[in-house]
Chain A
Amino acid sequence: MAEMVYAAVGTALADAGMDRDDIDTIVTASIDLFDGKVASSVSITESVGAVMKEEARISDDGAAALFHAATMILSGRKRNVLVVAHCKNSESDADEITKWTFDPNFQQPLGLNDSQAAALQASVWIAAGGSEEEMDRVAAVRGGVAVDHVRKSPWLVEPLRAAHRAPIVDGSCAVVLTSHDSRPPGWGKCRERTGVRSSRATSHVRVAGLGLCVEPHYLGDRDLVGCPAAKKAAERAFRMAGWKPADVERAEISAPFAHQEILWAAAFGLALDPPPPQSSPVKGKDKEAFRSPLEGEGAGGGGRAVVNPTGGWFAGNPYVVSGLERVICAVESVRLGRAKKALAHGCWGPAGQGQCVVLLEASP
């Protein structure tokens, strides 16, 4: 794990044109039970350069760690924060470990795990008019496989098949978040802006908005289709940024299960109408050729966002790391000029109980 993190941190620092001495403080994200360790971040203190430095550790998704890093910069106490997420899912069995997320009195005795919670969510969604075909297409496109392959893959938990689930892998990623001096309009109460720094002076990317929200715990208490936490997180981020959902040109959404991408894109208010053509071709692994089922003809125009052109979680992000990885993908899309405004999203817990939205835009 320490070696994996070391590689990610080195890459981020090189990209920022910084070394460890430039970093004021470090925020990491990891989850003990996935890694099979107590205080899993202990093993990466040296890898992230936190020896005799300030370090905080969030035990949720990496996007929430970025949120925390932003509060440190906005407080005026810190200028350069290294944000690192890591998870070694291969140390555990996700479907066994996630059983321990559910309250031990009422839900855990049912044997619920993340897959089952997601399947219940998918069932409610389908009953409410969700389309299984659409779910199959998302899984096919993001996973780079044919729709037929999805439909013929074995059941995970009905109505989800194995191919509806993103692969579970090991990994780490890192971001350098820095403060800037000027104060843009629409920043609300914030006195400083934050940005993901790049060594290329022309390609700074600014964090324009942040939103974080958790839902109640009991599945029966939750609106699994309306996704109020995703809505609230996005609303807060849009308010902070002074954007409308239709401003988003690229969205990097964390969806470990295919139907969740559709649910959360809707919760964020990303344009879904008119519905995508049912006969869109799927060209093997050529994701760029068929970027999103949510995308109509004339990609990205007319208030329609391109969603997960990278493949999203299906490209193989570990738990915990996915949210921060989505931020990196969104930053890349802005840097490469594919979008001026991008949305990145992280989630954690059963059926996405925890939600975090980060809005990114090109910095002048």
Chain B
Amino acid sequence: MVTRAAIVATGQTDHAKARDDVSQPELIYEAVTRALTDGELRPADIEAVILANMEMFEGRMLPDLWCAEAATAALKPCVKIATGGTSGTSAVIAGFHQVASGLFDTVLVVGWEKHSEGHTQAGMSMTDPLWDRYVAGGALNNFALSISQYMRTRGVTREAAARVAVKARHNAALNPHAHLKMPDLTFEQVMESRVLAEPVRLLDMCPQSDGACAVVFAAEGRAETICPRPAWVHAVATRHDKPYLGDHGDRLSTMRTLRAAAREVYQELDIREPLKEFDVAEIYEPVTYAELAWYEALGFCREGEASRLIEDGVTEMGGELPVNPSGGVLSTNPVGASGVIRAAEAALQIHGKGGKRQVPDVHLALVTGYGVYSWSDVMVLGSDRPH
């Protein structure tokens, strides 16, 4: 790369089911103000802005234009990225490119969603009108199909998934920004929660949240002056895949996009044992079973061994590789922001600003994004400036 880039500041809203107290720009303003405060920056220090949001969820057209000023973008370069669930991570990757290109020294990336102002299921159902709209509109139904297949081929159990749910909501209790903080949630409560679409139960699924998250990228030379321990971008990779659900019969058990993207960055960085080499991971798990499937795709374990990782506490706080100390998407899910939150939380761990959810001594962090049926983003952040 030409110019090295790092995340030097982060800020996020207090995510909730409905933030009736603020409008979309005010929600963004809350996250942006916190990010600027974190980096001791002024709005004028930001040279360009990238926004992420899925407009169909709120029924807005070009909402970046309404919200640009709240993100300090008035009379600055500003575009919106919208790639479904990966919108946030794609926007973060775009922000990295803007700095790495040498065109800008500081770039603000902001993702947001205000699900309470729209109808998420209706928005998600606006898929291909000839095929997909009639079969499995929305995340829940298509996951129920894929999870059934995944359980059958890999022997993954409801019990293992329930432990993922407990881990996520317990971690969320350590995160002041999280939407679903459930410090007392028990395994039994997850197992007994109502079925949404067999085999997915209520507590297996991510919520719909109102929230925004902002990160500031800075170029080398500038980054060190803003942040004593910048979270440098070591590698990024993206894979998209075919558009129809029927193309992905074995989606969770293969997850070829995440596998290929992870392989690309592992090769680039010579990572051979991701479980040992990463200090923390913030992965985009929209449903408990997905987290287990992602363990396999990311090479944290061999195929069919994901249940063991969660049952042995390997991915819990204090485990060998804490996964989602933030509580993850299972605890907070404003779609356009969710990917930005993953990057912000990973950067926060490197900055050493994780508070109660801080993992000790984080040098290398893994970030993933997930969207549509099987799109994947992967980003690696590190405390050392990349070569």
User: Does the CB pair A191–B102 fall under 8 Å?
Assistant: yes
Give the contacting residue for B64; candidates A36, A41, A59; CB below 8 A. Answer: A59
Q: Give residues 28-42 of A contacting B (CB, 8 Å).
A: 31-34, 36-39, 41-42
Residues of chain B lying within 8 A (CB to CB) of residue A18: none
Given contacts A32-B56, A57-B83, A76-B100, contact A37 B127 (CB under 8 A): yes
Q: Is the CB of A58 within 8 A of B75?
A: no
Quick check: B80 and A98 within 8 Å, CB to CB?
Answer: no
Mark out the residues of chain A between 92 and 149 whose CB falls within 8 Å of any chain B CB in the assembled complex: 97-105
Q: List residues of chain B with CB within 8 A of the CB of A105.
A: 23
The answer to whether the Cβ of A247 comes within 8 Å of any Cβ in the partner chain is no
A34, A64, A71: most-surrounded residue (chain B CB, <10 A): A71
CB < 8 Å neighbour of B241 from A51, A67, A101, A102: A51
Q: Does residue B314 face the partner (Cβ distance < 8 Å to A)?
A: no
Cβ-defined contact, A64 with B79, below 8 A = yes
Q: Decide if B62 touches A348 in the complex (CB within 8 Å).
A: yes
Whole-angstrom CA separation of A113 from B235 in the bound complex: 43
Contact between A103 and B66, CB atoms less than 8 A apart: yes
Chain A residues in 8 Å Cβ range of B97: 68, 71-72, 75, 77
Total number of B residues with any Cβ neighbor in A under 8 Å? 62
Quick check: A101 and B61 within 8 Å, CB to CB? yes
Docked complex: A14-53 residues within 8 A CB-CB of B: 25, 31-34, 36-39, 41-46, 50-53
Whether A60 pairs with B76 at a CB distance below 8 angstroms is: no
State whether A39 touches B54 (Cβ < 8 A). yes
User: Within the complex, which residue of A39, A71, A75, A104 is in contact with B372, where a contact is CB–CB below 8 Å?
Assistant: A39
Q: Is B78 an interface residue, CB under 8 A from the partner?
A: yes
In Å, the complex CA distance between A233 and B25 comes to 24
Other-chain contact of B240, A55, A74, A103, A354 (Cβ < 8 Å): A55
The residue of chain B having its C-beta at the shortest distance from the C-beta of A240 within the complex is B103
Q: Is B334 positioned at the interface, with any CB of A under 8 Å from its CB?
A: no
In this assembly, does A350 line the interface, its C-beta being within 8 Å of a C-beta of chain B?
yes
What 1/0 mask marks residues of chain B from 76 to 95 whose CB sits below 8 Å from any chain A CB? 11111111100000100110
B141 contacts the other chain (CB 8 A): no
Determine whether B65 belongs to the interface, using a CB cutoff of 8 Å to chain A: yes
CB contacts (< 8 Å) of B48 on chain A: these are 212
Instruction: Give CA–CA (A60, B53) in the complex, Å.
Output: 12
**Is the CB–CB distance between B1 and A217 below 8 Å?**
no
Q: What string of 1s and 0s marks CB contacts (under 8 Å) between B205-246 and chain A?
A: 000000000000000000000000000000011111111000
A349 within 8 A of B: yes
Residue of A nearest to B96 (CB): A75
In the complex, the answer to whether B62 meets A59 with C-beta atoms within 8 Å is yes
B102 touches A189 (CB 8 A): yes
> Are the CB atoms of A57 and B77 closer together than 8 Å?
no
Is B60 close to A, CB under 8 A? Answer: yes
B168 within 8 A of A: no
Q: Are B90 and A57 in contact (CB under 8 A)?
A: yes
Find the A residue at minimum CB distance from B91.
Answer: A56
The answer for the CA separation of A59 and B55 in the assembled complex, in Å, is 9
A58 to B78, CA, bound (A): 11
Q: Report B211 CB to chain A, min CB distance, Å.
A: 19
Selected from B62, B77, B241, the residue in CB contact (under 8 A) with A349 is B62
A25: nearest residue on chain B (CB-CB)?
Answer: B238
Known contacts A58-B81, A77-B1; A101/B54 CB under 8 A: no
In the complex, what's the smallest C-beta–C-beta distance from B249 to chain A, in angstroms? 16
Return A304 CB to nearest CB of chain B, in Å: 29
Q: Once the chains bind, are A216 and B68 in contact (CB under 8 Å)?
A: yes
Q: Say yes or no: A71 contacts B74, CB within 8 Å.
A: no
**Cα(A214)–Cα(B76), bound, Å:** 6
Q: Are A76 and B241 in contact (CB under 8 A)?
A: no
| Assembled-state Cα–Cα distance A38/B372 (Å) | 10
Flag whether A312 is at the interface (Cβ < 8 A): no
B75: contacting residue among A51, A57, A214, CB under 8 A? A214
* A100 touching B102 in the complex, CB below 8 Å, given contacts A39-B372, A76-B1: no
Partner of A74, one of B2, B78, B238: B2
Q: Is A39 within 8 A of B84, CB to CB?
A: yes
- With both beta carbons as reference points, the residue of chain A lying nearest to B377 in the complex is identified as A54
Which residues from B are CB-within-8-Å of A191? 2, 102
Q: How far is the CA of A25 from the CA of B261 in the complex (A)?
A: 13
Residue of A52, A59, A104, A189 contacting most chain B CB atoms (<10 Å)? A59
* A322 contacts partner chain B, Cβ-Cβ < 8 Å: no
Report yes or no: A38 in contact with B1, Cβ–Cβ below 8 A: no
For A333, the chain B residues whose CB sits under 8 A away are none
Judge whether B298 is part of the interface by a CB distance below 8 angstroms. Answer: no
How far, in whole Å, are A254 and B324 apart by their CA atoms in the complex? 46
The answer to whether B103 and A71 touch across the interface, beta carbons within 8 angstroms, is yes
Q: CB-CB < 8 A to B124: which residues of A? A: 38
Most buried by A among B67, B69, B124: B69
Known: A46-B243, A103-B66. Is A60-B56 also a contact (CB below 8 A)? Answer: no
- Write the chain B residue with the least CB distance to A36: B126
- Judge whether B372 and A217 touch: CB under 8 Å: no
The answer, yes or no, to whether B98 is at the interface (CB within 8 Å) is: yes
User: Is there an interface contact between A60 and B64, defined as CB atoms closer than 8 Å?
Assistant: yes
Contacts of B74 in A (CB 8 A): 214-216
Q: Which of A33, A51, A215 contacts B61 (CB 8 A)?
A: A33
Do B241 and A45 touch (CB < 8 A)?
Answer: yes
Across chains A and B, which 8 residue pairs bring their CB atoms closest together, nearest first?
A: A74-B101, A75-B100, A212-B77, A100-B61, A71-B101, A59-B82, A54-B238, A38-B56
Given contact pairs A42-B127, A77-B100, A99-B61, a sample of 17 additional A-B residue pairs in the complex whose CB atoms are under 8 Å apart: A32-B56, A33-B55, A33-B56, A36-B129, A37-B126, A39-B83, A52-B257, A54-B240, A56-B238, A60-B79, A64-B79, A71-B94, A71-B101, A75-B1, A214-B68, A348-B65, A354-B62
The 14 sampled A-B contact pairs (Cβ below 8 Å) are A33-B60, A33-B61, A42-B372, A59-B81, A60-B64, A76-B100, A77-B100, A97-B61, A98-B61, A216-B68, A216-B69, A217-B68, A217-B69, A349-B62
